[in-house]
C-alpha cells in the first residue's frame, strides 16, 4: 500500500518559503472543534486531544477490523486553526488572548464520509474518557485564494510575518476577505524550542 505523505506530496500547501506567496486552496475535509479563550488553557489542550484521538481512530481503522472503502495509508495531517477576535477584543490596544475565537482542526482524507466519522466517533467515545469528543465535527472547508508564508519563531513574534503579507497585499493591490486567518502548526510546540517553531500563516484574499 502506497503511503500518502503531505510533507512530500503537498509541499505547496504546507511548506511555503519565508516570503509571501499566493495560493488557491481547494475544498478539504477537516475534523473541527470551536471555542473562545486563551490557547494556553487546559480546555484548549483537551480539545486538541479530542481532535487527535478521532484522527488516529480513522487512520488506524484498517488495523481494527473496520474496513473503509477507498482507504489508503497516510500520515496524519498537522493541527490547524482559524483565528478571530471578539468585538470586545478588537477594541483593546493589546492582544487579550482571552478574547480569541477559534476553530481548530485536522485535515482528513477524502474517503472519510459523515457516516464513517459518526460511527468512529461513537466508538471512540465508548472507548476513551476524553473531554469534548462529542463536540468534534466533520466539515468541508475551502480557503480559496489566499496568501501564506512560513513563520519560523515563537507565536508571539508572528506579527513580523503578518506584516510581510500585508505589505505584499498593499504592493499588489490585493485585499483580505476577512479579518480571520489560518495557522498550520508544523512543529510540536510542546517539544520544539520557540525560536525554531514552524507555522504556516495564511490570509484569505480577494
Residue pLDDT tens, the chain, 206 long: 579 999 999 999 999 999 999 999 999 999 999 999 999 999 999 999 999 999 999 999 988 889 999 999 999 999 999 999 999 999 999 999 999 999 999 999 999 999 999 999 999 999 999 999 999 999 999 999 999 999 999 999 999 999 999 999 999 999 999 999 999 999 988 889 999 999 999 999 99
Res 104: pLDDT:
98
Q: What is the pTM of this model?
A: 0.95
Res 1: pLDDT:
59
Q: CATH second-level architecture of 6-205?
A: Alpha-Beta Barrel (3.20)
Res 49: pLDDT:
97
CB 199 within 8 Å of CB 155: yes
Res 65: pLDDT:
83
User: Measured between alpha carbons, how far is 35 from 100 in angstroms, rounded to an integer?
Assistant: 9
User: Measured between alpha carbons, how far is 206 from 198 in angstroms, rounded to an integer?
Assistant: 26
Amino acid at each position: 500500500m502506497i503511503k500518502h505523505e503531505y510533507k512530500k506530496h503537498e509541499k505547496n500547501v504546507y511548506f511555503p518559503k519565508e516570503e509571501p506567496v499566493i495560493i488557491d486552496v481547494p475544498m478539504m475535509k477537516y475534523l473541527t472543534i470551536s471555542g473562545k479563550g486563551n490557547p494556553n488553557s487546559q480546555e484548549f489542550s483537551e480539545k486538541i486531544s479530542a481532535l487527535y484521538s478521532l484522527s488516529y481512530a480513522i487512520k488506524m481503522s484498517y488495523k481494527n477490523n473496520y474496513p473503509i472503502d477507498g482507504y489508503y495509508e497516510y500520515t496524519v495531517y498537522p493541527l490547524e486553526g482559524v483565528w478571530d477576535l471578539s468585538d470586545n477584543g478588537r477594541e483593546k490596544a493589546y492582544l487579550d488572548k482571552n478574547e480569541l475565537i477559534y476553530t481548530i482542526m485536522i485535515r482528513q482524507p477524502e474517503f472519510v464520509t459523515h457516516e464513517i466519522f459518526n460511527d468512529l466517533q461513537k466508538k471512540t467515545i465508548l472507548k476513551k474518557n476524553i473531554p469534548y469528543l462529542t463536540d468534534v465535527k466533520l466539515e468541508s472547508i475551502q480557503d480559496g485564494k489566499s496568501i501564506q508564508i512560513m513563520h519560523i519563531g515563537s507565536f508571539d513574534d508572528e506579527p513580523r510575518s503578518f506584516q510581510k503579507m500585508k505589505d505584499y497585499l498593499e504592493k499588489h493591490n490585493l485585499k483580505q476577505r476577512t479579518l480571520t486567518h489560518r495557522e498550520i502548526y508544523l512543529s510540536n510546540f510542546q517539544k520544539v524550542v520557540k525560536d525554531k517553531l514552524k507555522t504556516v500563516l495564511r490570509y484569505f484574499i480577494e
